[in-house]
Amino acid sequence: MTMRRWTDADTTWFAISGVVPELAVPAERVLMDYQRNGDEWRRGYPADTPGLDICWQNFANCAELMLRQAARLQPVPWCETLHELCRRTSGRESDWWLAGSTALAVRGARIEPGDVDLVCSDDSALSLGMIFADALIEPVVCDSSGSISDYWGRAFLTARLEWIGAPKAGVDSPLPSDFGPIAASRLETVTWEGWQLRVPPLDLQRAVSQRRGLTTRVALIDAILNQ
């Protein structure tokens, strides 16, 4: 696997190539914001973006492990990442809540998350970028034209930590999502290893999982509901 970085005019590019076949499918998912050019995935940032040096160093150091975790060839120590998230944000202004499989895992579902997904406000998206400045693998991006949210951030500790800031109202149309404004208005609080964590309501997570054809996840949610 080869990593390279270069600056062309006003754009600095991060690129990865030589991805072995068993990592190609997870690469398509993990590097979804990267452009595919033959054997290479690349992404450009304005060359004056703050923090690019540390983002590049972290990305180059963790890319292979990140892909191997996504392929389930390496364990995903999501608990360690979540503990670090809780520790770093305790007592600080960072208004986040859990989404996806991690939100089910902290309820006791027998599921192994592939990463830790967060939803937050626009201000908190930027705040998380500062709190995890040493672990970012991509700079926190503001894109008000995005289809899902205004902000996006990604870091890597022992596992991927990803967040969206200010999700769009459109994610709840035609049916409610489990990460949009409707879910945010109905958050529930669970206790996980001594931490109070906010999660979306189970009925929304079940409905979304059912629409996506995730039958195993639906069964896991039903098991929690039937407890």
Res 93: pLDDT: 66
Q: State the amino acid at position 65 in one-letter form.
A: L
Q: What pLDDT score does 4 carry?
A: 96
Q: Counting beta carbons within 10 angstroms of the beta carbon of residue 201, is it exposed (0 to 12), middle (13 to 18) or buried (19 or more)?
A: middle
Stated pTM of the model:
0.93
SS3 150: strand
Do 32 and 127 fall into the same domain? no
Q: What is the CATH number of the domain that holds 215?
A: 3.30.460.40
The pLDDT assigned to 69 comes to 97
pLDDT at 164: 95
Give me the tens of pLDDT residue by residue for the chain, a chain 227 residues long.
999 999 999 999 999 999 999 999 999 989 988 999 889 999 999 999 999 999 999 999 999 999 999 999 999 999 999 999 999 999 876 689 999 999 999 999 999 999 999 999 999 999 999 999 999 999 998 876 678 999 999 999 999 999 999 999 999 999 999 999 999 999 999 999 999 999 999 999 999 999 999 999 999 999 999 98
Q: Do residues 52 and 7 lie in contact, with contact meaning Cβ atoms separated by under 8 Å?
A: no
Of all residues in the chain, what percent carry a pLDDT higher than 70? 98
Are both 44 and 103 inside the same structural domain?
Answer: no
Domain boundary among 70, 89, 121: 70
Amino acid type, 90:
S
Q: Are 53 and 82 in the same domain? A: no
pLDDT of residue 32: 87
pLDDT at position 141 is 85
**CA-CA-CA-CA torsion sign (141, 142, 144, 148):** positive
Q: Do residues 61 and 93 share a domain?
A: no
Last residue of a domain, one of 10, 43, 70: 70
Q: Where are the beta strands (DSSP E) in 122-173?
A: 136-142, 149-156, 160-167
Report how many domains make up the chain.
Answer: 2
* Shared-domain flag, residues 106 and 201: yes
65 and 105 in a single domain? The answer is no
**Residue positions counted in the chain:** 227
| Cross-strand partners of 41 | 16, 36
Shared domain check, 149 and 105:
yes
Residue 84 lies in domain? 78-225
Q: Are residues 19 and 114 located together in one domain of the fold?
A: no
Check: CB of residue 163 under 8 Å from CB of residue 131. Answer: no
Give yes or no: residues 129 and 40 share one domain: no
What's the one-letter identity of residue 81?
A: T
Identify which of 69, 71, 86 has the alpha carbon closest to the alpha carbon of residue 156.
69
How many angstroms separate the CA atoms of 165 and 180, rounded? 10
* CA geometry: angle 44, 54, 11, nearest 5 deg: 20
Strands 40-46 and 2-8, sheet pairing: unpaired
Specify the residue for token string 């079940």. Answer: 206
Q: What is the pLDDT of residues 97-119, one digit of tens each?
A: 999 999 999 999 999 999 999 99
Q: Which of 13, 37, 70 is the last residue of a domain?
A: 70
143 and 106 fall within a common domain? yes
| Domain co-membership, 14 together with 115 | no
115 and 218 within one domain:
yes
- What's residue 147's pLDDT? 80
